[in-house]
A and B are shown apart, each in its own frame.
Chain A
Amino acid sequence: MAGVDVRKDPVSVKQRIGVVPQRPNPDRQLTAIQNLIFHAAYFGIPRATATPRAQALLDQLGLGDRGEAKVDQLSGGQQQRLMIARALIHEPEILFLDEPTVGLDPQARLALWEVLRSLHDQGRTIIMTTHYMEEADRLCDRLAIVDHGKLLALDTPAGLKARAPGGTLIEVTLDGEAAPVVPALQALPGLSRPAAKGNELHVYSERAGEAIPGILRAAEQAGRAPTDIRLTPPSLETLFVSLTGRKLD
Protein backbone atom coordinates (compact mmCIF):
# COMPACT_ATOMS: atom_id res chain seq x y z
CA MET A 1 0.00 0.00 0.00
CA ALA A 2 1.77 3.15 -1.25
CA GLY A 3 5.05 1.36 -0.56
CA VAL A 4 4.15 0.34 3.00
CA ASP A 5 3.54 -3.21 4.24
CA VAL A 6 0.00 -3.46 5.60
CA ARG A 7 0.86 -6.31 7.94
CA LYS A 8 4.13 -4.95 9.28
CA ASP A 9 3.20 -1.30 9.57
CA PRO A 10 -0.58 -0.80 9.71
CA VAL A 11 -0.16 2.57 11.43
CA SER A 12 1.73 4.09 8.48
CA VAL A 13 -0.89 2.71 6.14
CA LYS A 14 -3.64 4.44 8.12
CA GLN A 15 -1.67 7.68 7.73
CA ARG A 16 -1.68 7.30 3.93
CA ILE A 17 -5.28 6.34 3.26
CA GLY A 18 -8.65 8.00 3.56
CA VAL A 19 -11.73 5.80 3.94
CA VAL A 20 -15.34 6.62 3.09
CA PRO A 21 -17.64 4.01 4.63
CA GLN A 22 -20.70 2.62 2.92
CA ARG A 23 -23.01 4.08 5.55
CA PRO A 24 -22.10 7.54 6.85
CA ASN A 25 -20.84 7.23 10.44
CA PRO A 26 -20.00 10.77 11.52
CA ASP A 27 -19.40 11.54 15.19
CA ARG A 28 -22.95 12.60 16.06
CA GLN A 29 -21.88 14.41 19.20
CA LEU A 30 -20.04 16.97 17.05
CA THR A 31 -20.99 19.49 14.38
CA ALA A 32 -20.02 18.98 10.75
CA ILE A 33 -16.88 21.10 10.92
CA GLN A 34 -15.90 19.71 14.33
CA ASN A 35 -16.03 16.26 12.78
CA LEU A 36 -13.35 17.40 10.34
CA ILE A 37 -11.24 19.33 12.86
CA PHE A 38 -11.21 16.50 15.42
CA HIS A 39 -10.49 13.95 12.73
CA ALA A 40 -7.54 16.09 11.64
CA ALA A 41 -6.38 16.19 15.26
CA TYR A 42 -6.39 12.37 15.34
CA PHE A 43 -3.81 12.69 12.55
CA GLY A 44 -1.76 15.19 14.54
CA ILE A 45 -2.83 18.21 12.48
CA PRO A 46 -3.05 21.34 14.65
CA ARG A 47 -6.33 23.21 14.83
CA ALA A 48 -4.88 26.31 13.16
CA THR A 49 -4.07 24.27 10.05
CA ALA A 50 -7.16 22.09 10.19
CA THR A 51 -9.78 24.83 10.47
CA PRO A 52 -9.17 26.58 7.11
CA ARG A 53 -8.61 23.22 5.44
CA ALA A 54 -11.91 21.90 6.82
CA GLN A 55 -13.78 24.98 5.61
CA ALA A 56 -12.19 24.67 2.15
CA LEU A 57 -13.27 21.02 1.94
CA LEU A 58 -16.80 21.86 3.05
CA ASP A 59 -16.92 24.58 0.37
CA GLN A 60 -15.59 22.21 -2.25
CA LEU A 61 -18.18 19.59 -1.36
CA GLY A 62 -21.09 22.01 -1.34
CA LEU A 63 -21.41 22.05 2.45
CA GLY A 64 -19.84 25.48 2.96
CA ASP A 65 -22.79 26.88 4.91
CA ARG A 66 -23.48 23.67 6.89
CA GLY A 67 -20.30 23.67 8.99
CA GLU A 68 -22.02 24.57 12.24
CA ALA A 69 -24.93 22.20 11.64
CA LYS A 70 -25.31 19.15 13.82
CA VAL A 71 -24.72 15.99 11.86
CA ASP A 72 -28.31 14.84 12.34
CA GLN A 73 -29.53 17.96 10.57
CA LEU A 74 -27.72 16.94 7.38
CA SER A 75 -29.39 14.88 4.65
CA GLY A 76 -28.03 11.47 3.69
CA GLY A 77 -26.23 12.89 0.67
CA GLN A 78 -24.75 15.71 2.73
CA GLN A 79 -23.54 13.24 5.36
CA GLN A 80 -21.96 11.14 2.63
CA ARG A 81 -20.10 14.22 1.34
CA LEU A 82 -19.05 15.05 4.90
CA MET A 83 -17.54 11.56 5.04
CA ILE A 84 -15.56 12.34 1.89
CA ALA A 85 -14.34 15.60 3.42
CA ARG A 86 -13.34 13.67 6.54
CA ALA A 87 -11.45 11.13 4.48
CA LEU A 88 -9.55 13.94 2.74
CA ILE A 89 -8.75 16.17 5.73
CA HIS A 90 -5.35 14.58 6.34
CA GLU A 91 -4.52 14.65 2.61
CA PRO A 92 -4.16 10.91 2.09
CA GLU A 93 -2.42 9.49 -0.94
CA ILE A 94 -5.21 7.03 -1.63
CA LEU A 95 -8.93 7.46 -1.11
CA PHE A 96 -11.11 4.39 -0.56
CA LEU A 97 -14.86 4.50 -1.07
CA ASP A 98 -17.12 1.57 -0.18
CA GLU A 99 -20.23 1.70 -2.34
CA PRO A 100 -20.51 5.45 -1.84
CA THR A 101 -23.74 5.96 -3.77
CA VAL A 102 -25.86 3.24 -2.14
CA GLY A 103 -29.04 4.78 -0.80
CA LEU A 104 -28.54 8.18 -2.40
CA ASP A 105 -31.23 9.78 -4.55
CA PRO A 106 -30.30 10.23 -8.24
CA GLN A 107 -29.48 13.91 -7.79
CA ALA A 108 -27.15 13.32 -4.84
CA ARG A 109 -25.59 10.48 -6.76
CA LEU A 110 -24.77 12.70 -9.73
CA ALA A 111 -23.39 15.36 -7.37
CA LEU A 112 -21.15 12.74 -5.79
CA TRP A 113 -19.92 11.63 -9.21
CA GLU A 114 -18.94 15.24 -9.92
CA VAL A 115 -16.99 15.38 -6.66
CA LEU A 116 -15.17 12.15 -7.43
CA ARG A 117 -14.32 13.31 -10.95
CA SER A 118 -12.86 16.58 -9.69
CA LEU A 119 -10.81 14.74 -7.02
CA HIS A 120 -9.59 12.41 -9.73
CA ASP A 121 -8.67 15.38 -11.95
CA GLN A 122 -6.57 16.73 -9.07
CA GLY A 123 -4.50 13.59 -9.43
CA ARG A 124 -5.68 11.62 -6.41
CA THR A 125 -5.80 7.84 -6.52
CA ILE A 126 -9.32 6.66 -5.80
CA ILE A 127 -10.33 3.06 -5.18
CA MET A 128 -14.04 2.46 -4.98
CA THR A 129 -16.28 -0.56 -4.81
CA THR A 130 -19.71 -0.51 -6.37
CA HIS A 131 -22.51 -2.82 -7.40
CA TYR A 132 -23.60 -0.38 -10.09
CA MET A 133 -21.89 -1.36 -13.33
CA GLU A 134 -22.92 1.91 -14.94
CA GLU A 135 -21.14 3.81 -12.18
CA ALA A 136 -17.98 1.77 -12.58
CA ASP A 137 -18.12 2.21 -16.34
CA ARG A 138 -18.41 5.98 -16.14
CA LEU A 139 -16.00 6.79 -13.34
CA CYS A 140 -13.17 4.31 -13.40
CA ASP A 141 -9.92 4.11 -15.34
CA ARG A 142 -9.30 0.56 -14.27
CA LEU A 143 -11.92 -1.89 -13.26
CA ALA A 144 -11.62 -5.14 -11.37
CA ILE A 145 -14.39 -7.69 -11.11
CA VAL A 146 -14.15 -9.50 -7.80
CA ASP A 147 -16.40 -12.33 -6.73
CA HIS A 148 -16.15 -13.92 -3.27
CA GLY A 149 -12.69 -12.43 -2.81
CA LYS A 150 -11.37 -13.77 -6.12
CA LEU A 151 -10.13 -11.38 -8.81
CA LEU A 152 -11.87 -12.47 -12.02
CA ALA A 153 -10.89 -9.67 -14.40
CA LEU A 154 -8.88 -6.44 -14.36
CA ASP A 155 -8.79 -4.00 -17.28
CA THR A 156 -10.06 -0.65 -18.52
CA PRO A 157 -13.86 -0.48 -18.85
CA ALA A 158 -13.49 -0.49 -22.64
CA GLY A 159 -11.16 -3.46 -22.51
CA LEU A 160 -13.56 -5.37 -20.29
CA LYS A 161 -16.56 -4.58 -22.44
CA ALA A 162 -14.70 -5.91 -25.46
CA ARG A 163 -14.45 -9.19 -23.54
CA ALA A 164 -18.15 -9.28 -22.79
CA PRO A 165 -19.76 -12.32 -24.38
CA GLY A 166 -21.08 -11.65 -27.85
CA GLY A 167 -24.65 -10.65 -28.27
CA THR A 168 -27.52 -9.82 -26.02
CA LEU A 169 -28.20 -11.92 -22.95
CA ILE A 170 -31.70 -13.38 -23.12
CA GLU A 171 -33.07 -14.58 -19.79
CA VAL A 172 -36.30 -16.52 -19.83
CA THR A 173 -38.10 -17.53 -16.65
CA LEU A 174 -40.12 -20.73 -17.09
CA ASP A 175 -42.84 -22.36 -15.04
CA GLY A 176 -40.58 -25.36 -14.35
CA GLU A 177 -37.03 -26.71 -14.59
CA ALA A 178 -35.22 -25.08 -17.53
CA ALA A 179 -32.68 -27.86 -18.12
CA PRO A 180 -34.81 -29.97 -20.55
CA VAL A 181 -35.01 -26.99 -22.92
CA VAL A 182 -31.24 -26.59 -23.29
CA PRO A 183 -30.60 -29.42 -25.86
CA ALA A 184 -33.20 -27.97 -28.24
CA LEU A 185 -31.57 -24.53 -27.99
CA GLN A 186 -28.15 -25.96 -28.80
CA ALA A 187 -29.58 -27.08 -32.14
CA LEU A 188 -31.01 -23.67 -33.00
CA PRO A 189 -28.94 -21.35 -35.22
CA GLY A 190 -27.93 -17.86 -34.00
CA LEU A 191 -27.81 -18.82 -30.31
CA SER A 192 -24.76 -19.36 -28.17
CA ARG A 193 -24.00 -20.85 -24.78
CA PRO A 194 -27.49 -21.81 -23.61
CA ALA A 195 -27.55 -22.66 -19.91
CA ALA A 196 -30.16 -23.55 -17.32
CA LYS A 197 -30.27 -22.43 -13.71
CA GLY A 198 -33.33 -23.64 -11.89
CA ASN A 199 -36.31 -22.16 -13.73
CA GLU A 200 -34.05 -19.64 -15.49
CA LEU A 201 -32.83 -20.08 -19.04
CA HIS A 202 -29.76 -18.04 -20.11
CA VAL A 203 -28.75 -17.76 -23.75
CA TYR A 204 -26.85 -15.22 -25.86
CA SER A 205 -27.75 -14.04 -29.35
CA GLU A 206 -26.53 -11.34 -31.73
CA ARG A 207 -30.10 -10.80 -32.90
CA ALA A 208 -32.20 -11.25 -29.83
CA GLY A 209 -35.49 -10.10 -31.36
CA GLU A 210 -35.39 -12.75 -34.07
CA ALA A 211 -34.22 -15.46 -31.72
CA ILE A 212 -36.98 -15.18 -29.14
CA PRO A 213 -39.79 -16.97 -31.07
CA GLY A 214 -37.51 -19.98 -31.58
CA ILE A 215 -36.59 -20.07 -27.91
CA LEU A 216 -40.23 -19.89 -26.83
CA ARG A 217 -41.19 -22.65 -29.24
CA ALA A 218 -38.40 -24.85 -27.92
CA ALA A 219 -39.58 -24.21 -24.38
CA GLU A 220 -43.17 -25.12 -25.21
CA GLN A 221 -42.08 -28.29 -26.99
CA ALA A 222 -40.31 -29.27 -23.77
CA GLY A 223 -43.56 -28.67 -21.90
CA ARG A 224 -42.56 -25.36 -20.28
CA ALA A 225 -44.37 -22.03 -20.46
CA PRO A 226 -42.40 -18.78 -20.17
CA THR A 227 -43.47 -16.41 -17.41
CA ASP A 228 -40.94 -13.64 -17.97
CA ILE A 229 -38.38 -12.54 -20.56
CA ARG A 230 -35.53 -10.07 -20.02
CA LEU A 231 -32.97 -8.74 -22.49
CA THR A 232 -29.59 -7.30 -21.48
CA PRO A 233 -27.42 -5.81 -24.25
CA PRO A 234 -23.66 -6.49 -24.04
CA SER A 235 -22.28 -4.54 -21.14
CA LEU A 236 -20.20 -4.84 -18.01
CA GLU A 237 -23.23 -6.43 -16.47
CA THR A 238 -23.37 -9.27 -18.99
CA LEU A 239 -19.64 -9.71 -18.52
CA PHE A 240 -20.13 -9.89 -14.76
CA VAL A 241 -22.86 -12.48 -15.17
CA SER A 242 -20.78 -14.56 -17.56
CA LEU A 243 -17.73 -14.41 -15.27
CA THR A 244 -19.48 -15.12 -11.99
CA GLY A 245 -22.38 -17.17 -13.30
CA ARG A 246 -24.88 -15.16 -11.33
CA LYS A 247 -26.86 -11.97 -11.35
CA LEU A 248 -25.85 -8.96 -9.34
CA ASP A 249 -27.48 -8.75 -5.94
Chain B
Amino acid sequence: MNPSPWKVFGALVRRDVHVVSRELPFFLLRTTLQPIMFTIVFGYLLPKMGFVQPGYTGALLPGVLGVSLAFASVQAVALPMVADFGWTKEIEDRLLAPVPTWVIAVEKVLAGTVQGVIAALFVLPVARLIMGPIAGLDFAHFGLVIVMTLLGAFAFSAFGLLLGTAIKGEQIGLMFGLIVAPMIFFGCAYYPWKALSATPVVQVLVLVNPLVYVSEGMRGALTPALPHMSLPVVAGALVVISGVFMALGLRTFDKRAVS
Protein backbone atom coordinates (compact mmCIF):
# COMPACT_ATOMS: atom_id res chain seq x y z
CA MET B 1 0.00 0.00 0.00
CA ASN B 2 1.39 3.36 -1.00
CA PRO B 3 0.96 6.19 1.52
CA SER B 4 -1.26 9.06 0.41
CA PRO B 5 0.67 11.83 -1.37
CA TRP B 6 -0.69 14.30 1.20
CA LYS B 7 0.90 12.37 4.03
CA VAL B 8 4.24 12.33 2.23
CA PHE B 9 3.82 16.03 1.41
CA GLY B 10 3.23 16.70 5.11
CA ALA B 11 6.45 14.86 5.99
CA LEU B 12 8.39 16.91 3.42
CA VAL B 13 6.97 20.09 4.95
CA ARG B 14 7.91 18.95 8.47
CA ARG B 15 11.46 18.33 7.33
CA ASP B 16 11.73 21.82 5.84
CA VAL B 17 10.14 23.48 8.88
CA HIS B 18 12.62 21.62 11.10
CA VAL B 19 15.64 22.67 9.03
CA VAL B 20 14.54 26.19 8.07
CA SER B 21 13.41 27.24 11.55
CA ARG B 22 16.88 26.44 12.88
CA GLU B 23 18.54 28.42 10.09
CA LEU B 24 16.04 31.30 10.08
CA PRO B 25 18.23 34.06 11.57
CA PHE B 26 21.02 33.34 9.07
CA PHE B 27 18.52 33.07 6.26
CA LEU B 28 17.00 36.49 7.10
CA LEU B 29 20.43 38.04 7.45
CA ARG B 30 21.56 36.64 4.11
CA THR B 31 18.50 37.65 2.14
CA THR B 32 17.41 40.95 3.71
CA LEU B 33 20.70 42.65 4.53
CA GLN B 34 21.08 44.09 1.03
CA PRO B 35 17.57 45.68 0.86
CA ILE B 36 17.93 46.94 4.44
CA MET B 37 21.25 48.64 3.67
CA PHE B 38 19.65 50.16 0.62
CA THR B 39 16.89 51.44 2.89
CA ILE B 40 19.44 53.03 5.21
CA VAL B 41 21.18 54.89 2.37
CA PHE B 42 18.20 55.91 0.26
CA GLY B 43 15.48 56.00 2.89
CA TYR B 44 17.43 57.62 5.72
CA LEU B 45 20.83 59.11 4.82
CA LEU B 46 20.06 60.76 1.48
CA PRO B 47 16.77 62.34 2.67
CA LYS B 48 18.60 63.64 5.76
CA MET B 49 21.27 65.16 3.53
CA GLY B 50 18.59 66.71 1.41
CA PHE B 51 19.63 64.93 -1.81
CA VAL B 52 16.34 63.07 -1.97
CA GLN B 53 12.86 64.45 -1.45
CA PRO B 54 11.25 63.16 1.75
CA GLY B 55 8.31 61.78 -0.27
CA TYR B 56 10.64 59.28 -1.96
CA THR B 57 10.33 56.85 0.96
CA GLY B 58 6.72 56.20 -0.06
CA ALA B 59 7.95 54.88 -3.42
CA LEU B 60 10.91 53.08 -1.87
CA LEU B 61 9.27 51.05 0.92
CA PRO B 62 7.05 48.82 -1.26
CA GLY B 63 9.99 48.23 -3.62
CA VAL B 64 12.29 47.23 -0.78
CA LEU B 65 9.67 44.73 0.40
CA GLY B 66 9.35 43.41 -3.14
CA VAL B 67 13.10 42.91 -3.46
CA SER B 68 13.27 41.20 -0.07
CA LEU B 69 10.55 38.72 -0.77
CA ALA B 70 11.67 38.01 -4.32
CA PHE B 71 15.31 37.60 -3.36
CA ALA B 72 14.44 35.42 -0.34
CA SER B 73 12.11 33.19 -2.36
CA VAL B 74 14.59 32.64 -5.18
CA GLN B 75 17.42 31.86 -2.79
CA ALA B 76 15.35 29.59 -0.55
CA VAL B 77 14.64 27.29 -3.48
CA ALA B 78 17.56 27.74 -5.86
CA LEU B 79 20.58 27.60 -3.55
CA PRO B 80 19.85 24.25 -1.83
CA MET B 81 18.72 22.78 -5.12
CA VAL B 82 21.91 23.66 -6.99
CA ALA B 83 23.88 21.94 -4.24
CA ASP B 84 21.50 18.98 -4.04
CA PHE B 85 21.58 18.20 -7.73
CA GLY B 86 25.15 19.36 -8.25
CA TRP B 87 27.22 17.56 -5.66
CA THR B 88 25.62 16.58 -2.34
CA LYS B 89 22.77 14.57 -3.94
CA GLU B 90 21.04 14.91 -0.58
CA ILE B 91 17.63 15.32 -2.13
CA GLU B 92 17.80 11.67 -3.19
CA ASP B 93 16.28 10.52 0.10
CA ARG B 94 13.17 12.51 -0.85
CA LEU B 95 13.21 11.46 -4.50
CA LEU B 96 12.99 7.86 -3.28
CA ALA B 97 9.72 8.63 -1.49
CA PRO B 98 6.73 6.81 -2.98
CA VAL B 99 5.18 9.89 -4.63
CA PRO B 100 5.58 11.34 -8.13
CA THR B 101 8.68 13.58 -8.23
CA TRP B 102 6.66 16.71 -8.97
CA VAL B 103 5.19 16.52 -5.44
CA ILE B 104 8.71 17.11 -4.08
CA ALA B 105 9.29 20.07 -6.43
CA VAL B 106 5.95 21.66 -5.54
CA GLU B 107 6.69 21.28 -1.83
CA LYS B 108 10.02 23.08 -2.34
CA VAL B 109 8.30 25.95 -4.15
CA LEU B 110 5.65 26.33 -1.44
CA ALA B 111 8.31 26.25 1.29
CA GLY B 112 10.20 28.96 -0.65
CA THR B 113 7.01 31.01 -0.89
CA VAL B 114 6.57 30.91 2.88
CA GLN B 115 10.20 31.94 3.39
CA GLY B 116 9.72 34.88 1.01
CA VAL B 117 6.68 36.03 2.96
CA ILE B 118 8.60 35.73 6.24
CA ALA B 119 11.41 37.86 4.79
CA ALA B 120 8.91 40.56 3.73
CA LEU B 121 7.22 40.51 7.15
CA PHE B 122 10.63 40.93 8.76
CA VAL B 123 11.72 43.81 6.53
CA LEU B 124 8.47 45.80 6.73
CA PRO B 125 8.81 47.01 10.37
CA VAL B 126 12.60 47.36 10.05
CA ALA B 127 12.29 49.57 6.98
CA ARG B 128 9.48 51.60 8.51
CA LEU B 129 11.66 52.15 11.59
CA ILE B 130 14.63 53.32 9.52
CA MET B 131 12.64 55.62 7.25
CA GLY B 132 10.42 57.17 9.90
CA PRO B 133 6.84 58.17 9.03
CA ILE B 134 6.06 57.42 5.38
CA ALA B 135 3.64 59.65 3.49
CA GLY B 136 1.01 57.62 1.69
CA LEU B 137 1.60 54.35 3.59
CA ASP B 138 -1.82 52.82 4.13
CA PHE B 139 -2.59 49.47 5.76
CA ALA B 140 -6.31 49.67 4.98
CA HIS B 141 -5.98 47.01 2.26
CA PHE B 142 -4.01 44.46 4.22
CA GLY B 143 -5.79 41.61 2.44
CA LEU B 144 -4.38 42.96 -0.83
CA VAL B 145 -0.92 43.16 0.71
CA ILE B 146 -1.16 39.47 1.64
CA VAL B 147 -2.38 38.47 -1.82
CA MET B 148 0.36 40.45 -3.60
CA THR B 149 3.02 39.09 -1.26
CA LEU B 150 1.90 35.50 -1.83
CA LEU B 151 1.69 35.93 -5.61
CA GLY B 152 5.11 37.55 -5.79
CA ALA B 153 6.76 35.04 -3.47
CA PHE B 154 5.26 32.12 -5.38
CA ALA B 155 6.39 33.50 -8.76
CA PHE B 156 9.94 33.92 -7.50
CA SER B 157 9.98 30.53 -5.76
CA ALA B 158 8.99 28.97 -9.07
CA PHE B 159 11.78 31.02 -10.69
CA GLY B 160 14.11 29.57 -8.04
CA LEU B 161 13.02 26.05 -9.01
CA LEU B 162 13.91 26.77 -12.64
CA LEU B 163 17.26 28.40 -11.78
CA GLY B 164 18.14 25.76 -9.18
CA THR B 165 17.60 22.90 -11.61
CA ALA B 166 18.79 24.53 -14.84
CA ILE B 167 22.01 26.02 -13.50
CA LYS B 168 25.19 24.09 -12.74
CA GLY B 169 26.95 24.46 -9.41
CA GLU B 170 29.93 26.35 -10.79
CA GLN B 171 27.65 28.93 -12.42
CA ILE B 172 25.93 29.99 -9.22
CA GLY B 173 28.04 33.15 -8.86
CA LEU B 174 27.24 34.01 -12.45
CA MET B 175 23.55 33.55 -11.72
CA PHE B 176 23.59 36.25 -9.06
CA GLY B 177 25.80 38.58 -11.05
CA LEU B 178 24.05 38.27 -14.40
CA ILE B 179 20.45 37.49 -13.54
CA VAL B 180 19.53 38.51 -10.01
CA ALA B 181 21.46 41.80 -9.76
CA PRO B 182 20.13 43.35 -13.02
CA MET B 183 16.70 42.11 -12.07
CA ILE B 184 16.86 44.08 -8.82
CA PHE B 185 18.14 47.30 -10.40
CA PHE B 186 15.71 47.22 -13.30
CA GLY B 187 12.83 45.85 -11.24
CA CYS B 188 11.17 49.18 -10.42
CA ALA B 189 12.01 48.47 -6.79
CA TYR B 190 13.71 51.80 -6.17
CA TYR B 191 11.48 53.91 -8.43
CA PRO B 192 7.85 53.57 -9.55
CA TRP B 193 7.18 52.21 -13.02
CA LYS B 194 4.96 55.18 -13.94
CA ALA B 195 7.91 57.52 -13.33
CA LEU B 196 9.82 55.67 -16.08
CA SER B 197 7.61 57.52 -18.58
CA ALA B 198 10.54 59.94 -18.62
CA THR B 199 12.41 57.19 -20.56
CA PRO B 200 9.73 55.39 -22.60
CA VAL B 201 12.09 52.78 -24.08
CA VAL B 202 13.24 51.67 -20.65
CA GLN B 203 9.66 51.73 -19.42
CA VAL B 204 8.73 49.12 -22.04
CA LEU B 205 11.91 47.06 -21.73
CA VAL B 206 11.59 46.51 -17.99
CA LEU B 207 8.22 44.83 -18.50
CA VAL B 208 10.02 41.51 -19.13
CA ASN B 209 11.35 41.68 -15.58
CA PRO B 210 9.11 39.76 -13.16
CA LEU B 211 10.26 41.91 -10.23
CA VAL B 212 8.50 44.94 -11.79
CA TYR B 213 5.13 43.32 -11.10
CA VAL B 214 6.04 42.40 -7.52
CA SER B 215 7.23 45.95 -6.77
CA GLU B 216 4.21 47.54 -8.44
CA GLY B 217 1.86 45.11 -6.70
CA MET B 218 3.31 46.07 -3.33
CA ARG B 219 2.92 49.74 -4.30
CA GLY B 220 -0.71 49.29 -5.25
CA ALA B 221 -1.42 47.50 -1.97
CA LEU B 222 0.67 49.56 0.48
CA THR B 223 0.67 53.06 -1.01
CA PRO B 224 -2.50 53.05 -3.14
CA ALA B 225 -2.59 56.86 -3.37
CA LEU B 226 0.82 57.00 -5.09
CA PRO B 227 1.24 56.16 -8.81
CA HIS B 228 1.35 52.44 -9.52
CA MET B 229 0.49 49.85 -12.19
CA SER B 230 -3.10 48.61 -12.17
CA LEU B 231 -3.45 45.74 -9.69
CA PRO B 232 -5.47 43.37 -11.93
CA VAL B 233 -2.69 43.71 -14.55
CA VAL B 234 -0.07 42.98 -11.87
CA ALA B 235 -1.98 39.94 -10.57
CA GLY B 236 -2.53 38.60 -14.08
CA ALA B 237 1.14 39.04 -14.97
CA LEU B 238 2.28 37.28 -11.78
CA VAL B 239 -0.06 34.35 -12.41
CA VAL B 240 1.25 33.96 -15.98
CA ILE B 241 4.88 34.29 -14.84
CA SER B 242 4.30 31.71 -12.08
CA GLY B 243 2.72 29.31 -14.55
CA VAL B 244 5.59 29.62 -17.03
CA PHE B 245 8.34 29.25 -14.41
CA MET B 246 6.51 26.36 -12.75
CA ALA B 247 6.04 24.46 -16.02
CA LEU B 248 9.68 24.96 -17.06
CA GLY B 249 10.97 24.31 -13.53
CA LEU B 250 9.03 21.06 -13.13
CA ARG B 251 10.41 19.85 -16.44
CA THR B 252 14.03 20.52 -15.55
CA PHE B 253 13.47 19.17 -12.03
CA ASP B 254 12.16 15.92 -13.45
CA LYS B 255 15.13 15.66 -15.80
CA ARG B 256 17.63 16.23 -13.01
CA ALA B 257 15.76 13.87 -10.67
CA VAL B 258 15.97 10.96 -13.09
CA SER B 259 19.62 11.39 -14.03
Contact present for B97 and A43 (CB under 8 Å)? yes
A42 to B91, CA, bound (A): 12
Chain B residue with the shortest CB-CB distance to A87: B96
Contact present for B11 and A28 (CB under 8 Å)? no
- Given known A41-B14, A42-B8, A44-B7, contact A14–B97 (CB-CB < 8 A): yes
A93 to B4, CA, bound (A): 20
Contact present for B93 and A86 (CB under 8 Å)? yes
- Given known A42-B11, A42-B12, contact A27–B98 (CB-CB < 8 A): no
- The reply on A15 being an interface residue by CB < 8 A is yes
Contact present for B93 and A25 (CB under 8 Å)? yes
- The reply on B19 being an interface residue by CB < 8 A is yes
For B19, give its contact among A11, A14, A23, A29 (CB under 8 Å).
A29
For B15, give its contact among A10, A38, A43 (CB under 8 Å).
A38
A42 to B93, CA, bound (A): 9
CB neighbours (8 Å) of B99 from chain A are: 11
Chain B residue with the shortest CB-CB distance to A44: B3
B 1-27 to A, binary, CB cutoff 8 A, 1 in contact else 0: 111100110011011001100110000
A65 to B111, CA, bound (A): 33
Contact present for A23 and B89 (CB under 8 Å)? yes
Q: Which of A6-45 contact B (CB under 8 A)?
A: 10-12, 14-15, 19, 21, 23, 25-30, 34-35, 38-39, 41-44
- The reply on B55 being an interface residue by CB < 8 A is no
A30 to B168, CA, bound (A): 25
Chain B residue with the shortest CB-CB distance to A36: B93
Say what secondary structure dominates the interface of chain B: helix
CB neighbours (8 Å) of A34 from chain B are: 18
- Given known A38-B11, A44-B8, contact A19–B19 (CB-CB < 8 A): no
- The reply on B94 being an interface residue by CB < 8 A is yes
CB neighbours (8 Å) of B23 from chain A are: 29
A55 to B210, CA, bound (A): 48
Q: Which of A11, A28, A30, A42 has the most CB of B within 10 A?
A: A42
CB neighbours (8 Å) of B4 from chain A are: 44
- The reply on B90 being an interface residue by CB < 8 A is yes
Contact present for B88 and A14 (CB under 8 Å)? no
For A11, give its contact among B2, B22, B90 (CB under 8 Å).
B2
Interface residues in A, total, Cβ within 8 A: 23
CB neighbours (8 Å) of A23 from chain B are: 89
How many A-B pairs with Cβ below 8 Å? 71
Contact present for A27 and B11 (CB under 8 Å)? no
For B93, give its contact among A12, A15, A26, A44 (CB under 8 Å).
A26
CB neighbours (8 Å) of B236 from chain A are: none
CB neighbours (8 Å) of A10 from chain B are: 100
Q: Which of B175-216 contact A (CB under 8 A)?
A: none
- The reply on B138 being an interface residue by CB < 8 A is no
Contact present for B96 and A25 (CB under 8 Å)? no
Q: In whole Å, how far is B22's beta carbon from the nearest beta carbon of chain A?
A: 8
CB neighbours (8 Å) of A28 from chain B are: 88, 90
CB neighbours (8 Å) of A29 from chain B are: 18-19, 22-23
CB neighbours (8 Å) of B1 from chain A are: 15
A18 to B247, CA, bound (A): 30
A148 to B132, CA, bound (A): 69
For B90, give its contact among A19, A26, A41 (CB under 8 Å).
A26
CB neighbours (8 Å) of A42 from chain B are: 8, 11-12, 93-94, 96-98
A 48-61 to B, binary, CB cutoff 8 A, 1 in contact else 0: 00000000000000
Contact present for A25 and B7 (CB under 8 Å)? no
CB neighbours (8 Å) of B89 from chain A are: 21, 23, 25
Q: In whole Å, how far is A30's beta carbon from the nearest beta carbon of chain B?
A: 7
**A-B contact list, 10 entries, CB within 8 Å:** A21-B89, A25-B88, A25-B90, A26-B90, A27-B15, A28-B90, A29-B19, A41-B8, A41-B14, A44-B8
A positions within 8 Å CB-CB of B: 10-12, 14-15, 19, 21, 23, 25-30, 34-35, 38-39, 41-44, 86
- Known pairs A15-B2, A15-B98, A25-B93; list 11 more (Cβ under 8 Å): A11-B100, A12-B98, A25-B89, A27-B93, A29-B23, A38-B18, A41-B8, A41-B15, A42-B97, A43-B8, A44-B98
